[in-house]
Amino acid sequence: MRVLLGWMGPLLALLLLQPAGSMGRCPSPPAVDHADRRPSYELLVGSTVTYFCRHGYMLIPGVSPTTTCLTNFTWSAVPALCQMVQCPSPAIINGRVTSGEQDKYGVGQQVEFQCNLGYTMWGSQKTQCWSDGTWKPPLPYCDKVCAPPPLITNGQHTGVRTELFPYGMEVKYSCAAGLSLIGDESIYCTSEDGVNLTWSGPAPVCRGESAESQRGQSTRRSPSSPRPSLCPKG
């Protein structure tokens, strides 16, 4: 027994000093750009390691994200696996990007928009590129607006403090006290040709005598009233 142990001792020491591959194991799997690999502590022949793309990158379609320890103690070839996630250009019609403009848009990048003069924005003014390659919230769009509604004499409309008048917006007219509104009380922004916007009709008019006019007349002296004497009292 002593002879046997004495003979095996150097052999065991020699085996422990051999490279991992010579003992039926592969070395650490190769690194891949923009990817992490799931740790594997048993890198024996036949073992498989799976790679995962890092945040902001996605697996290239049709490419297997795994590598296998072969019988010659090397790993099967690992091609490029991950590509950068990109969102499409956030261009909008009748508007422009005012903040965050880039040649390419990766995950997490944000942009802000502004519509051209004469247009109003529908949707969110700010959006962000997400990991699925889409913009969230969705890109806004810019729609035409009507010109300011016409003003009327001795009256006013509800859009006096409004800057933009988009499609479908309604304004209502009213007259000064004592005057009557002739015509439609309301007009709204619409389109006759499906392209250009216009008001649904002409503005109404105010007719009659206003309360201020009536008060002014009541203070005037009637022609039949006696004229005051200009002679000094004697």
- Do 96 and 115 share a structural domain? yes
Q: How many helices (H) and strands (E) are present in the chain, helices listed first?
A: 2, 20
- Do 39 and 55 share a structural domain? yes
Print pLDDT tens along the chain (234 aa). 454 444 444 433 333 334 444 458 898 888 899 999 887 667 899 999 999 999 899 999 999 999 999 999 999 998 899 999 999 999 999 999 999 999 999 999 999 999 998 888 999 999 999 989 999 999 999 988 999 999 999 999 999 999 889 989 999 999 999 999 999 999 999 998 888 899 999 999 999 865 455 454 444 443 444 434 444 444
Only one residue has tokens 């903040």, namely 99
CATH number of the domain enclosing 179: 2.10.70.10
E strand or H helix that includes residue 49: strand 48-53
Structure tokens at 70: 């072969």
> For residue 221, is it within any domain?
no
Question: What are the φ/ψ torsions at residue 219 (nearest 5 degrees)?
Answer: -85, -10
> For residue 233, is it within any domain?
no
Residue numbers of the domain that contains 186: 155-208
CA-based torsion, 94, 99, 102, 108: positive or negative = negative
> For residue 123, is it within any domain?
yes
- Do 185 and 159 share a structural domain? yes
**What is the distance between the alpha carbons of residues 175 and 173, in angstroms, rounded to a whole number?**
7
Question: What are the φ/ψ torsions at residue 165 (nearest 5 degrees)?
Answer: -125, 90
Q: Cα dist. 117→7, 146, 163 in Å? A: 94, 12, 11
> For residue 181, is it within any domain?
yes
Exposed, middle or buried by CB within 10 Å (0-12, 13-18, 19+), for 134? middle
Structure tokens at 135: 């913009």
Burial 83-103 (b: 16+ CB within 10 A, else e): eebebeebebeebeeeebeee
Which of 50, 66, 84 finishes a domain? 84
Q: How many CA atoms lie within 13 A of 32 on its CB side?
A: 26
- Do 136 and 93 share a structural domain? yes
Domain count along the chain: 3
